[in-house]
Amino acid sequence: MKKVIVYCFALVLMTFVGCQKEELHLEETATATKEITQKGGYETTSNAQSNELVILYPEGTSEAEKELKRAEYNVESYKKCECADPNLELWSFGKEEVRNGGGIETKRQSTQADEEIEGSEYNPNIKIQEDLFVEFGGTASTSDGIQKRVAANQGVTIAVLDTGVDYNYEGFINPFLYNSSTDGCNNNGYQEEFGWNFVDNDNNPFDNHYGRHGTIVTSLITSKLEAANVNYQILPVKVANRQGNIKYFDALCGFQYAANKPDVSIINMSFGWYQQERELLEKFIEDAEDILVITSAGNKGINNDTHPHYPSSYESDNILAVAALSNNTANNNSNVDIYAQGVNGSSNSALADFSNRGILSVDIAASGENIPFTYNNDVIYISGTSYSAALTSGFSGTKYINGMTGIMLKEKVLENAIYDPQLFEIQYSKHIPE
């Protein structure tokens, strides 16, 4: 059990490439032409919206009772967590109400003390920084995604909470998207087909993120599954917008949406934040005992035991927190590693310098430095624990047996991971097979 951005653009063969969060290099498929390295941050959270609260009602609360409760607190408007959790709402208060009522903190404290409300939290912004500037987002229709939907769900289902997925990405050759024909949501005039977009509240979870973060994560997951020749499908859950911003409320809705799908056995969350624990997400993860939740440990090179990173630092037994392995020999270059200074890691560690660590709060490791990724016939080298988590989700999917709980699958993954004494800075001193 665990305890616990400088935008840059470069014109390369008429393709823009940039980076903020993590180290990246660009090369042509055949020969390297240019390398780009830039400092960057990782996941961040901004202050909460000054007039919003995330509210969780107790199970069984009727709509009439909810109506009375909103009136009691003078809620100006509210948003329901459609397609996911009828007890979860986002309350918005008028500026006058907040000012005259002692501020949003007073509202939060009052709702937290209310026995007819199970949970109340701020609605901060979580940021997925662009790994690289691939292109201006683009668009795709739901019909494009349907072409990549499996005929019937078989084997393991992995939900990916991220920026969505580019259905037309060149690496997705075979049908791979979840088939929602039997358990799809119908909301806001849209019928679910293979996933949901909680940013725009529609049935098109297309990845319009400038860095295609969700597409890269999904591709890495499927690469492991394809290599092992197992049956699978991916449920894309879009919780981040074009700029990589995730509203906490949308993350909660996205998680509950995935957790309520009977076929989902693994949820990948390649994002996170520091400091604030956020109790509602922790509760939802613990309640989803049949699901293994795989999370990235973070990219600041710090110890999560002393500087918690969430959700990877939650103590839930069904969480697997993943660090990044070092790969100093891959695509070696003369640029100084931007993460080499001021980190807490040991020079004898097998972890990448930028990777967070922690013998109590980080479980295992996976490749996460200079991973080659092909996009529009260019090979891009990507680094970050986002990708380590993705590879671990894929590997976990290859070990899934029908009927496994999240804890059982976690134990199976750990059992098949490889021990390395140089991974002494993480709990199990193991990494998944390459």
Mean pLDDT of 172-180: 97
If one compares 336 and 360, the residue with the highest pLDDT of the two is 360
Q: Give yes or no for a contact between 196 and 183, defined as CB atoms under 8 angstroms apart.
A: no
**pLDDT of 350 over the 60 cut:** yes
The per-residue pLDDT for range 113-140, each reduced to its tens digit, is 999 999 999 999 999 876 566 666 678 9
Compute the distance between CA of residue 319 and CA of residue 267 in angstroms, rounded to an integer. Answer: 10
Compute the distance between CA of residue 76 and CA of residue 130 in angstroms, rounded to an integer. Answer: 34
Mean pLDDT of 224-236: 98
Coil, strand or helix at 215: helix
Q: Distance between the two ends of the chain, CA-based, in angstroms?
A: 25
If one compares 88 and 336, the residue with the highest pLDDT of the two is 88
Mean pLDDT comparison of 28-42, 214-228, 374-388, highest-scoring range: 214-228
Task: List, as one string, the DSSP characters of 169-194.
Answer: -TT--S--B---TTT--EETTEE-SS
Q: What is the pLDDT of residue 277?
A: 87
Q: What is the pLDDT of residue 116?
A: 97
Could you tell me which residues come within 8 angstroms of residue 402 by beta carbon, excluding any fewer than 6 positions away?
none
Q: What is the pLDDT of residue 337?
A: 31
Mean pLDDT of 280-293: 98
Mean pLDDT of 381-398: 97
**pLDDT of 305 over the 50 cut:** yes
Q: What is the pLDDT of residue 129?
A: 74
The per-residue pLDDT for range 39-86, each reduced to its tens digit, is 223 444 554 567 999 999 999 999 999 999 999 999 999 999 999 999
Q: What is the pLDDT of residue 348?
A: 79
Task: List, as one string, the DSSP characters of 277-307.
Answer: --HHHHHHHHH-TTSEEEEE--SS--BTTTS
Q: With bands split at pLDDT 50, 70 and 90, how would you rate the model's confidence at 1?
A: low
Compute the distance between CA of residue 429 and CA of residue 434 in angstroms, rounded to an integer. Answer: 15
**pLDDT of 306 over the 50 cut:** yes
Could you tell me which residues come within 8 angstroms of residue 407 by beta carbon, excluding any fewer than 6 positions away?
289, 292, 317, 318
**pLDDT of 162 over the 70 cut:** yes
**pLDDT of 25 over the 50 cut:** no
Q: What is the pLDDT of residue 42?
A: 42
**pLDDT of 346 over the 90 cut:** no
Q: What is the pLDDT of residue 327?
A: 86
User: Which residue's entry shows tokens 């597409």?
Assistant: 215
Q: Give me the chain's average pLDDT, please.
A: 86
Nearest alpha carbon to residue 90 among 128, 60, 124: 124
**pLDDT of 14 over the 60 cut:** no
